[in-house]
């Protein structure tokens, strides 16, 4: 399984295409092929996966129980690129967090809402679910359309890329 290291800005042409950055091409093992999966993921950017890496992530997601509404919702949000907002304090966040999540402590949420897009799904999390429930309410009250409370950040850890 290959994991790409680095962050690159690329331009997308009029047909919606882009060239794989040379920094990523150099990281590919010989014979890896040219097939990739691109997902908006939870970050506010595109994530590129080799087919093998994406299959491993998909296997984890596919093992979830589709009869649970929150699982179906999570799958939809993950595949559509929701933003995870961790509302714990910065010291709690430093002790462990979901890769790619945004740390906006609950106390600072009202002044930092501009970092989020109102038309993009948001998943809030914290240590237990209390602060993330408050954050969800505050975001909905400020015009955000899709906001979900994941409860504990650790409940999302198993889906981390």
Q: DSSP states of 50-98 as a string?
A: EHHHHHHHHHHHHTS-TTSHHHHHHHHHHHHTPEEEE-S-HHHHHT---
Q: Residue 76 falls within a domain, yes or no?
A: no
Chain centroid offset of residue 124 CA: 11
Q: Are residues 88 and 150 in the same domain?
A: yes
CATH number reported for the structural domain that contains residue 127 in this entry: 3.40.250.10
In 3D space, the residue among 17, 24, 80, 13 whose CA is nearest the CA of residue 49 turns out to be: 24
Rg (CA), the chain: 17
- DSSP conformation class of 114: G
Q: Quick check: is 49 in a domain?
A: yes
**pLDDT tens-digit map of 99-116:** 878 999 999 999 999 999
Give the residue numbers spanning the domain of 6: 1-67
- Which residues pair with residue 39 across a beta bridge? 47
DSSP 27: T
Same domain, 98 and 149: yes
End-to-end Cα distance, the chain: 12
Residue 104 shares a structural domain with residue 145: yes
Q: Please check the confidence at residue 124 and state whether its pLDDT lies above 90.
A: yes
Q: Could you tell me if residue 120 is inside a domain?
A: yes
What pLDDT is recorded for position 85? 94
* Residue 154 pLDDT > 70: yes
**59 with 93, same domain?**
no
Q: Are residues 26 and 59 in the same domain?
A: yes
The reported pTM is 0.60
- List, for residues 18-36, the tens digit of each pLDDT value: 777 888 777 776 656 667 7
User: Distance between CA 137 and CA 92 in Å, rounded?
Assistant: 22
Contact by Cβ (8 Å): 124, 136: yes
pLDDT value, residue 62: 78
Question: Which is higher by pLDDT, 33 or 96?
Answer: 96
pLDDT in tens, 45-70: 677 777 777 778 778 877 888 888 87
* Partners of 83 in beta bridges: 122
Q: Is 75 part of a structural domain of the chain?
A: no
49 with 93, same domain? no
Last residue of a domain, one of 44, 67, 90: 67
87 and 152 part of one domain: yes
Domains held by the chain: number: 2
């Amino acid at each position: 399984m290959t994991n790409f290291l680095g962050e690159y800005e690329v331009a997308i042409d009029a047909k919606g295409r882009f060239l794989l950055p040379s920094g990523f091409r150099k990281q590919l093992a010989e014979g890896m092929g040219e097939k990739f999966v691109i997902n908006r993921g939870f970050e506010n950017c595109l994530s590129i996966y080799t087919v093998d890496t994406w299959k491993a992530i998909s296997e984890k997601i596919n093992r979830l129980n589709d009869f649970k509404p929150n699982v179906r919702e999570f799958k939809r949000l993950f595949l559509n690129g929701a933003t995870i907002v961790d509302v714990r304090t910065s010291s709690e966040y430093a002790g462990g967090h979901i890769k790619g999540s945004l740390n906006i402590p609950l106390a600072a949420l009202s002044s930092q809402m501009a970092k989020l897009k109102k038309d993009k799904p948001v998943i809030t999390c914290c240590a237990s679910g209390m602060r993330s429930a408050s954050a969800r309410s505050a975001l909905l009250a400020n015009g955000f359309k899709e906001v979900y409370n994941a409860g504990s950040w650790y409940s999302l850890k198993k889906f981390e890329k």
